[in-house]
Structure 1
Amino acid sequence: MPSEKDIVEGINYKAPQKELWTGRKTNPSIGNQYWYQEIQFFKANNLAKGGERIKLPDVALLGYACDEGVRRNMGRVGAKEGPVSFRKKIASLPFHHGAISVGDFGDILCSDQDMENSQNVLSNVVKQLISSSIFPIVIGGGHDLAYAHFGGIKNAVRSTGKSKIGIINFDAHFDLRPVDEKSNSGTPFNQILSESNDVDYLVVGLQKQSNTKELFNIAKTNNVQYIENFDCVFSNIEVVKSTLLQFIERNDYIYLSIDLDGFSSAYAPGVSAPSPLGFSPMFAFDLIRLIMESKKVVSCDIAELNPLFDVDNATSILAARLADFIISCRLG
């Protein structure tokens, strides 16, 4: 698992940028109506102070501005710009979350291609967020963030006496590649399964033509469950829901990971590895609601947002709507 790394502003961390949060003007007599009016701003080192001096939010948005793992995996770089593009789009959405408070905790950076340092910082911040009773939503950035994210979750729940963590990953890929010299965006779940015993892994939307025979063998060896993309249709949704419910039932905590390349490129062109054969947003949202209603989701992320290849900001808008929807599900 990643080690805990100190935050060094300007090197591996950037404080939230208030100028990204803008939107249309509203009638002051009605009160706040948009995300840009409700968002609060915190530096990650505020967490060390706890609630003694500042009131911390219920939900944290944390960027992982790193696509070094994508580069190592020979993918299309650009996902390091994902967190900024995400904020610009969610800022202008109407805010319908009542008294739930949301904080922008800035971005984890990657300097000198040192992805491992970025992962260590992310793991540390995620642990502190969960330990402070804050629900993290991590925005990437390459899916290599999952290795660090899981490490933070594991360290945060270690003292609870419940240790079984189930990972539900909406993704076209297993991301189970063996580590060859250095890890990358295709290796995180192999790393997790290799280093942890109390972990369960389920992939939703897997595409056979995006995964080699070796990866299927690794999945079988590690008892990885998967639901293929051709089964991710509304005519089959009750079967998929049944599989998810059984998975959730046997785990103490759920880590929800959403790789945007699992969606059809008609909805998510702005990713490293787009495919026209992914699932639809409405299908995914229906399942996400079911997962969130379990009350077992301890943290989540939205990975592989690549604005450099987006069309009309469609993928950034989808990522924003996903985060907004996940928060609305926590109200239920």
Structure 2
Amino acid sequence: MGFLKIYSEKDVSSFIKKRAGETKFGEKVNFVETLEDLKNHPAKYVLLGIPEDIGVRANYGNPGTSKAWEAALGSLLNIQNNHLTNAENVILLGEIDCETQMKQAATIPKEEAHYAEELGELVTQIDHKVSAVIKIIIEAGKFPIIIGGGHNNSYGNLKGTSEALQKPTNCINFDAHTDFRSLEHRHSGNGFSYAFVDGFLSKYFIFGLHRNYTSQAVFNSMEKNSHRVKFNLFEDISVKQKLSFSDALKDAENFCCNENFGIELDMDAIEMMGSSAISPSGFTLTEARKFVSYFSKNKNANYLHICEGSPSAELFPNQVGKAIAYLVSDMLS
């Protein structure tokens, strides 16, 4: 499949910093030669990267999310392999091939009258690649852990999951924003609204939505579809404390976890985390870890997507990669 760069052990050996007396996570993860090999492999989890930031740029955001996958590998492959980290249950599959689209995006000048729309066409091409690969992974009975790119990739995740299950899927999104905006050109702000309209997303819950960055038009749209779209506010949980974090988790669970669902986590929602829209106010990384740990234990969970991380925006070196490594290990334990 030309949509995917499948990794071998050799491809990631340079990331692993071996040390006498220790075994690193990257020394024990599994590899496959073809997508067909997934079906007969005993490992449950499949790591997949999406090295792109075209969707963010098409949404007039800051580039950099294309680097999160590489940063994540640098940290994740160097955590300790022990009886708690479960590297043997992981297949490091590789990355969505975004090279052609990234090169084309670089040739489009910002002054171009249809700059965002032209980027949106490239996002649609990546949608197709992501959905095709996710569909195959889930049809093989595996659980994809998808890292990197903008939140535009939620569309491909939901489409691929829905097509594999042959029915719409639900989704919980840990995010400061809804990404449920109008159906204009494809970008990082409308992946869920497109999936909703196209019949791939059934019920949608936004966990910790920021009131300051949600337009009235989006609130109206959610109200119109309130039987299928719900949210809780970050301010109600962490500022006004109307709702405890644990009760907020239960509200989301009760709404959409009785059927198949995807777990989406936008790193913008984590306070001062290097991301495409870094925020001075948000959840802690520990709360993000609690979110992932809580929902990953549900038998109806189908995938985890960690997106919008931008190493170039972080305040201290290697924090994005280390944060993603924590979140992935919480998924596995």
| Normalised TM-score (structure 2) | 0.84
Extract unaligned runs of 5+ from structure 1.
Answer: 1-6
In structure 2, the residue corresponding to 1:65 is in which secondary structure?
coil
Pick closer, same or farther for the CA change 1:192–1:41 going to 2, 3 Å.
Answer: same
Matches of 1:99 and 1:136, distance apart in 2: 14
| 1:169 pairs with 2:169 | no
What is residue 284 of structure 1 aligned with on the other side? 288
Matches of 1:199 and 1:86, distance apart in 2: 30
Pick closer, same or farther for the CA change 1:174–1:21 going to 2, 3 Å.
Answer: same
Matches of 1:131 and 1:88, distance apart in 2: 29
| 1:22 pairs with 2:30 | no
State the superposition RMSD in angstroms: 2.1
Matches of 2:97 and 2:201, distance apart in 1: 30
Cα offset for 1:324?
1.0
Q: Which has the higher helix share?
A: 2
Cα offset for 1:50?
5.2
Indicate conservation of the 8 Å contact 2:135/2:160, yes or no: yes
Instruction: Give 1:34's match in structure 2, choosing from 20, 24, 40.
Output: 24
Opposite residue 102 of structure 1, the aligned amino acid is V
Extract unaligned runs of 5+ from structure 2.
Answer: 106-121
What is residue 202 of structure 1 aligned with on the other side? 205
Matches of 2:88 and 2:283, distance apart in 1: 30
What is residue 3 of structure 1 aligned with on the other side? none
Matches within 5 A, 1:1-332: 7-8=1-2, 12-16=3-7, 17-27=11-21, 33-43=23-33, 46-49=34-37, 51=39, 55=41, 57-95=43-81, 96-98=84-86, 100-110=88-98, 111=100, 112-113=104-105, 114-158=122-166, 163=167, 165-180=169-184, 182-196=185-199, 199-223=202-226, 224-233=229-238, 236-249=244-257, 251-265=258-272, 268=273, 270-310=274-314, 311-328=316-333
Matches of 1:293 and 1:273, distance apart in 2: 29
Moved more, 314-323 or 194-203: 194-203
Indicate conservation of the 8 Å contact 1:59/1:136, yes or no: yes
In structure 2, the residue corresponding to 1:128 is in which secondary structure?
helix
Number of aligned residue pairs: 302
Matches of 2:200 and 2:76, distance apart in 1: 37
Percent of aligned positions that are identical: 24
Indicate conservation of the 8 Å contact 1:77/1:272, yes or no: yes
Q: After TM superposition, what 4+ stretches of structure 1 lie above 4 angstroms from structure 2?
A: 49-52
